[in-house]
Amino acid sequence: MQDFAGRVAAITGAGSGIGRALAYELSRYGARLALSDINEAAVAETAAHALKLGASETTATRLDVADRHAVQAWADETAAHFGTVNLVFNNAGVALTASVEEMEWEDFEWLMGINFWGVAYGTKAFLPHLRRAREAHLVNISSVFGLMGIPTQSAYCAAKYAVRGFTESLRQEMALSKSGVRVTTVHPGGIKTNIARSARVAKGLPQGEIADHFDKKLATTSPERAARIILRGVRHNRSRVFVGPDATAIDLGQRVLGAGLEPLVRLFAGRSLPVAPAAPAAPAAAKQPPAAPSAT
């Protein structure tokens, strides 16, 4: 897809960060936008500003992507309202910092519901509409944590690896069936958004310090730049898009070193991660290191 003018784009998680930046960037081309987010006020704000930036039309919907029936209803309403759907960005996501041993099932399921099932629901709900469009592109947001395992990020990594496998399989299916639907997986590195501030962390971990560390040390790319890189990937019909120099380096490291990357990850993560050493009985008030990487 070379031109976004007049195209209908549906974006989940459009109330903040990458989703909001995608909405604003598409507005500059005069796209028509179906925006959703679990935060109703935030998505309404995005929609209003998008109109000022040049979007020809916007809708703003409160949507929990972990609710399959609600996602289906939103996809059908969007297609009915705009008459077609050309672009879908399954972007909504959350983060969780907790070791496998500390992680509560409730938090694990919360994250998978949004970061994996939300993407799967969005994909299946919109696919029939995309197939009917003259030009169509589906974009699912994974992460660099869909390329390598990271201590304290098992749930996030599981979801983002799953998004990657799901999306790459779909891309093959679309190509084999000679469908016109293009499919892209996006692997952002650290992007300066609200993700770490709104993350859940294991009981006792210093959430504020973890978020500070993410903002200061890890989030090196702006959401605006991320949106431009993603849209360039759509224009060039890239199978995978790496966002930021860190993402490009991690992709290269994975391909060159394979499992040899693991000691480097441990070296980097070990300095700041809140992983308690394995012990039969953990001390009652073990002091946690000050900061930890959050989801990327």
Ligand X SMILES: NC(=O)c1ccc[n+]([C@@H]2O[C@H](COP(=O)([O-])OP(=O)(O)OC[C@H]3O[C@@H](n4cnc5c(N)ncnc54)[C@H](O)[C@@H]3O)[C@@H](O)[C@H]2O)c1
Q: Which of 24, 121, 156, 161 is catalytic?
A: 156
| Least distance between ligand X and beta carbon 204 (Å) | 23
Query: Binding segment for ligand X among 11-19, 125-133, 176-184, 253-261 (CB under 6 A)?
Result: 11-19
Determine which residue in the list 39, 56, 179, 222 makes contact with ligand X, applying CB under 6 A: 39
Binding-site size for ligand X (CB under 6 A) equals: 33
Nearer to ligand X, 30 or 110 (CB): 110
> Is residue 156 annotated as a catalytic residue, yes or no?
yes
Nearer to ligand X, 123 or 296 (CB): 296
| Least distance between ligand X and beta carbon 25 (Å) | 13
Three-state SS letters, the chain: CCCCCCCEEEECCCCCHHHHHHHHHHHHCCCEEEEEECCHHHHHHHHHHHHHHCCCEEEEEECCCCCHHHHHHHHHHHHHHHCCCCEEEECCCCCEEECCCCCCHHHHHHHHHHHHHHHHHHHHHHHHHHHHCCCEEEEEECCHHHCCCCCCEHHHHHHHHHHHHHHHHHHHHHHHCCCCEEEEEEEECCECCCCCCCCEECCCCCHHHHHHHHHHHHCCECHHHHHHHHHHHHHCCCCEEEECHHHHHHHHHHHHHHHHHHHHHHHHHHCCCCCCCCCCCCCCCCCCCCCCCCCC
| Least distance between ligand X and beta carbon 112 (Å) | 11
Decide: is 65 part of the binding site for ligand X (CB under 6 A).
yes
Task: Decide if 46 contacts 194 (C-beta within 8 A).
Answer: no
Nearer to ligand X, 18 or 127 (CB): 18
Nearer to ligand X, 84 or 248 (CB): 248
Query: Binding segment for ligand X among 47-55, 188-196, 230-238, 270-278 (CB under 6 A)?
Result: 188-196
The whole-angstrom separation of Cα 296 and Cα 288 is: 21
Decide: is 195 part of the binding site for ligand X (CB under 6 A).
yes
Binders of ligand X among 106-135, rule CB under 6 A?
114-115
Within 8 A by CB and 6+ apart from 66, the residues are 110, 113, 114, 117, 118, 121
Decide: is 143 part of the binding site for ligand X (CB under 6 A).
yes
Determine which residue in the list 88, 94, 136, 211 makes contact with ligand X, applying CB under 6 A: 94
Decide: is 46 part of the binding site for ligand X (CB under 6 A).
no
Decide: is 233 part of the binding site for ligand X (CB under 6 A).
no
Decide: is 248 part of the binding site for ligand X (CB under 6 A).
no
Nearer to ligand X, 16 or 27 (CB): 16
Residues that bind ligand X (CB under 6 A): 12-13, 15-19, 37-39, 42, 63-66, 91-94, 114-115, 141, 143, 188, 190-191, 193-195, 198, 219, 295-296
